[in-house]
A and B are shown apart, each in its own frame.
Chain A
Amino acid sequence: MWSNLPLFPARASTLAGHVDALYFLLVAVTAFFTILIAALILIFAIRFRKQKHPVAKQIHGSNALELTWTIIPLGISMIFFVWGAAIYFTETRPPKDSMEVYVVAKQWMWKFEHTEGQREIDELHVPEGRDVRLIMTSQDVIHSFFVPAFRVKADVLPGRYTSTWFHATKPGRYHLFCSQYCGTAHSSMVGWVVVMTPGAYQQWASTGTDGSLASTGEKYFQQYGCSTCHRSDSQGRGPNLVGIFGKPVLLDDGRTVVADESYIRESILNPEAKVVSGFKPIMPTFQGQIDEEGLVALVAYIKGLGNGMANPPMPVNNPEKAPYPVPPKPEASQATPSAK
């Protein structure tokens, strides 16, 4: 019976160690106080029970004692606050050069899109020993990307990018849960994160894709006519997007905004919201024409512009091969937005 009774989650990411250390400290402090309170109740109940101590000694209270058991718990809890905040601060700031994976959560499945082009459903293959940053959005309700073994959780909101990151340390298959209630099949919106040794990952990654995400993005960039205004050589009617990602952009109303994924996504769907200064707001909205996968591809392409196509498109060797490793559940619409 005990063979299948694990009492502690696997520890498979750099973050897990810190979280567990804080957790054990808190468990120790909780155990200490709970046992202290229980012991005091027991001792007082026995020593001062009515038969043995019929007349109670009235004590009004002592300010000194009150002060001590206000200051000491406050001091202890500040430790938990500071340590917890430190872990949280690192957990919410992805390192600069981390490998990016785009996640699109849909009612009751996870879709992953690697920048090299691989697309996966409910299963994410990541190399061990590398920072992996997830850029996530939802097509319908709020979901939440939760991998207990990495001690990582982040809600996935509709209409906005949220991101989280982890640095896997131990190869293996780890549970992936959706931890924000999202409807009928909330409990079957689960999957696996497969951590592989770098060599095995390279081998897996090269099993054919139909072009990197950025190249798909480039196809969209042509197809939707973005290149007519956003010219990469000269100053077209739209701002030159080469090397724009990550840099502050001056807007016409004087505000400066960092051109991150959310800014690019918003400018595609709602161009008038943040118009770059010196340009006229003539860009039409693409709301409803490009779905989330298309947006993710365009964002990846624009990010790739200017820094030498950081993710050069993989050579397409056997286009007829199925674009995905065989997904566990046949997804109804297998339509990959391949414009080929």
Chain B
Amino acid sequence: MASAAITQDEKTNYLNADYGIKSWLLTTDHKRIALLYLISITMFFFLGGFFAMLIRLELLTPAGDLVTSDTYNKLFTMHGIVMVFLFLIPAVPTVLGNFLVPMMIGAKDLAFPKLNLASWYVYMLGGGWVLYAIITGGVDTGWTFYTPYSTTFSNTNVVAAAVGIFIAGFSSIFTGINFIVTIHRMRAPGLTWRRLPLFIWSNYATSVIMVLGTPVLAITLLLVAAERLFHLGIFNAQLGGDPLLFQHLFWFYSHPAVYIMILPGMGVISEVVTCFSRKRVFGYDFVALASICIAVLGFLVWAHHMFVAGISVYAAMVFSLLTFFVAIPSAVKVFNWIATMYQGSISFETPMLYAFGFIGLFTMGGMTGLFLGSLGIDVHVHDTYFVVAHFHYVMVGGMVMAYMCGLHFWWPKITGKMYPEGWAKLSALLTFVGFNLTFFPQFILGYMGMPRRYHAYPPEFQVLNVLSTAGASVLAVGYVLPMIYFVWSLRYGQDAGPNPWRAAGLEWMTSSPPPTSNFETTPVVTWEAYNYDEIDKQQEVPVAS
């Protein structure tokens, strides 16, 4: 990170407070750790994206002619593992969360700074291990590692990948513990729970899921590795083991994991929609409560991934009913965002465009979730491209859109520089168009019955697959563009000043980039959350300094 040429007086901030590799690799400053995460997460995002492009290229033709079927199986497995465990789960909590949670609650740093640095090292160790698994031959079990294929029939680096994810899981646990303790014990005076920004609420709910869910994935992958290495026959069908036991334990974590991915994104959207509508959020208590409800209900629904796997009819009905309950809080959030815009004073900077995109695409993603939650349809569309389209709508259309929105919204605070507005709007548009072109045809393919993870498919599915690959290339451009102009803005970006958006929130009340200890004096909060009317009034009457 070359230190930006700061035109104002050489004010010390967390970027230029200290120089040298040691000052970065041994830092306990939550802001520097957030930047370390930003770099490593972007690296893994483009690695996963590279795999995605190869998959889309292979699917241009019905016959499997670009890569062999083994390579294709490794491609979609690696795309899944890298994207889910090394990008989607950590992204918003560790990059935006690490940077902003202490600042938004007026604290100097997280409760356990050393644990925070440990979480980055554990993440890199886990990621490195997965990279080792990729380089030395890859894994071909799918990111879901279903037994008995993963334990007895696959002869690829399943153990290496499982250990890599096991280690990276600790990064989630450490971040989760850090956030919960910080939010509980280190809020600024006057900052009651109902004055907290909704970004804090959603990161709190996410941390609860991380702490409660990740260990179950850890033990499940450990047992798979133990079965491969030491013949511990817990999932072994030949010994009378039940393959569905693995699926229960795996999805017990992996469904709440999708809420780990989306909840922080929702928090970003709550911040951005209120800021660019200059209005308090509509129904603050309900949006905050919705985050907690999603976190709790998220743990009750996992077996909707197993409706056709052979579970009993009665269990399927129980989980289908609970799945419809978990959909309601998400709907409440969407309606509240729309109601927030009513009677607002809306401006259309890039973060707001991304927020519009998020609300639209997340609604589509959430509604198609109802298709999969309803038993009758899930039997037909399970493990087809309908499912692929559904979770990409929620993950890429929802979470990545919100991640981009958050990056653009807080980039001035992180670097003190403004990103180029024109290019940013173009990349937002490109992402939206490219995304829809890529994944909407997959709904149609899915209902027609094209199965997931197919290296070759019947010819009648080709036209829609070609459309999807075309969309993927537009989407790729939409993601590369921000990479370029963000780095460009470090050198040539306009100076942002402490609060370019005139946004509410403690993080905007300190300089950009903020000093190492965030605030000269610990702020005292006497106002409600999102008090944009007071902020706009202050702006009109120039404060007699």
User: A residues engaging B (CB < 8 A)?
Assistant: 1, 4-9, 18-19, 22-23, 26, 29-30, 33-34, 37-38, 40-41, 44-45, 48-50, 53-62, 65-66, 69-70, 73-74, 77-78, 80-81, 83-89, 91-92, 107, 140-142, 144, 146, 148-149, 151-155, 157-160, 162, 175, 177-188, 190, 270
B328 touches A77 (CB 8 A): yes
> Can you name 27 A-B pairs with beta carbons within 8 Å?
A8-B447, A23-B380, A23-B447, A26-B371, A29-B367, A33-B363, A34-B364, A37-B360, A40-B338, A45-B341, A45-B346, A56-B343, A60-B280, A60-B283, A77-B370, A78-B324, A81-B324, A84-B373, A85-B317, A148-B384, A155-B308, A158-B238, A180-B146, A183-B153, A184-B140, A186-B454, A187-B72
A141 touches B148 (CB 8 A): yes
Interface centre among B69, B149, B379, B382 (most CB of A within 10 A): B379
Q: Which residues of B contact A41 (CB under 8 A)?
A: 338, 341, 356, 359-360
Interface centre among B72, B324, B336 (most CB of A within 10 A): B324
Q: Which chain A residue lies CB-closest to B279?
A: A56
B449 touches A175 (CB 8 A): yes
Binary CB contact string for chain B from 78 to 121 against chain A (1 if under 8 A, 0 otherwise) = 00000000000000000000000000000000000000000000
A-B complex: 10 closest residue pairs judged by Cβ atoms? A148-B449, A87-B376, A84-B374, A88-B375, A61-B283, A30-B367, A84-B376, A77-B324, A57-B343, A187-B454
Known: A80-B374, A140-B148. A157 touches B310 (CB 8 A): yes
Q: Which chain A residue lies CB-closest to B462?
A: A4
Q: Which chain A residue lies CB-closest to B317?
A: A85
B346 touches A48 (CB 8 A): yes
Q: Which residues of B contact A26 (CB under 8 A)?
A: 367, 370-371, 374, 377
B454 touches A84 (CB 8 A): no
Report if B383 contacts A (CB, 8 A). Answer: yes
A179 touches B452 (CB 8 A): yes
Report if B463 contacts A (CB, 8 A). Answer: yes
Known: A153-B380, A186-B453. A48 touches B310 (CB 8 A): no
Q: Which residues of B324-350 are within 8 A (CB) of A?
A: 324-325, 327-328, 331-332, 334-336, 338-339, 341-348
Interface centre among B327, B346, B367 (most CB of A within 10 A): B346
Provide the bound-state CA to CA distance between A70 and B289, in Å.
13
B342 touches A84 (CB 8 A): no
Provide the bound-state CA to CA distance between A145 and B341, in Å.
48
Report if B237 contacts A (CB, 8 A). Answer: yes
Binary CB contact string for chain B from 300 to 328 against chain A (1 if under 8 A, 0 otherwise) = 00000001111001001100110011011
A77 touches B327 (CB 8 A): yes
B380 touches A148 (CB 8 A): yes
A153 touches B379 (CB 8 A): yes
Q: Which residues of A contact B458 (CB under 8 A)?
A: 175, 190
Q: Which residues of B contact A37 (CB under 8 A)?
A: 334, 338, 359-360, 363
Q: Which residues of B contact A181 (CB under 8 A)?
A: 73, 141-142, 146, 149, 452-453
Range for the number of chain B residues in contact with chain A: 35 or more
Known: A73-B328, A91-B379. A178 touches B368 (CB 8 A): no
Q: Nearest Cβ distance between residue A138 and chain B, in whole angstroms? A: 9
Q: Nearest Cβ distance between residue A207 and chain B, in whole angstroms? A: 28
Provide the bound-state CA to CA distance between A54 and B364, in Å.
31
A61 touches B284 (CB 8 A): yes
Choice from B64, B449, B453 contacting A9 with Cβ under 8 Å: B449
Q: Which chain B residue lies CB-closest to A52?
A: B345
Provide the bound-state CA to CA distance between A280 and B396, in Å.
61
Interface centre among B69, B334, B451 (most CB of A within 10 A): B451
B370 touches A50 (CB 8 A): no
Q: Nearest Cβ distance between residue B240 and chain A, in whole angstroms? A: 7
Total residue contacts A-B, CB cutoff 8 A: 288
Q: Which residues of B494-545 are within 8 A (CB) of A?
A: 532-533, 536
**Apart from A81-B320, A91-B376, what are 11 other A-B pairs with CB-CB below 8 Å?**
A19-B377, A48-B345, A49-B346, A60-B284, A77-B373, A84-B373, A85-B375, A141-B146, A155-B309, A159-B238, A179-B452
B376 touches A74 (CB 8 A): no
Q: Which chain B residue lies CB-closest to A81?
A: B324
Known: A148-B449, A183-B154, A185-B69. A88 touches B376 (CB 8 A): yes
Q: Nearest Cβ distance between residue A26 and chain B, in whole angstroms? A: 5
Q: Which residues of A contact B140 (CB under 8 A)?
A: 183-184
Report if B30 contacts A (CB, 8 A). Answer: no
Q: Which residues of A contact B309 (CB under 8 A)?
A: 142, 155, 157
Q: Which residues of A contact B29 (CB under 8 A)?
A: none
Provide the bound-state CA to CA distance between A6 and B240, in Å.
44
Report if B282 contacts A (CB, 8 A). Answer: yes
Choice from B324, B374, B375, B380 contacting A151 with Cβ under 8 Å: B380
Q: Which residues of A contact B371 (CB under 8 A)?
A: 23, 26, 30
A81 touches B338 (CB 8 A): no
Known: A44-B341, A89-B313. A66 touches B376 (CB 8 A): no
A34 touches B376 (CB 8 A): no
Report if B460 contacts A (CB, 8 A). Answer: yes
Q: Which residues of A contact B447 (CB under 8 A)?
A: 8-9, 23
Q: Nearest Cβ distance between residue B437 and chain A, in whole angstroms? A: 16
A66 touches B313 (CB 8 A): no
Q: Which residues of B contact A183 (CB under 8 A)?
A: 73, 140, 149, 153-154
Binary CB contact string for chain B from 247 to 285 against chain A (1 if under 8 A, 0 otherwise) = 000000000000000000000000000000111101111
Binary CB contact string for chain B from 219 to 256 against chain A (1 if under 8 A, 0 otherwise) = 00000000000000000011010011000000000000
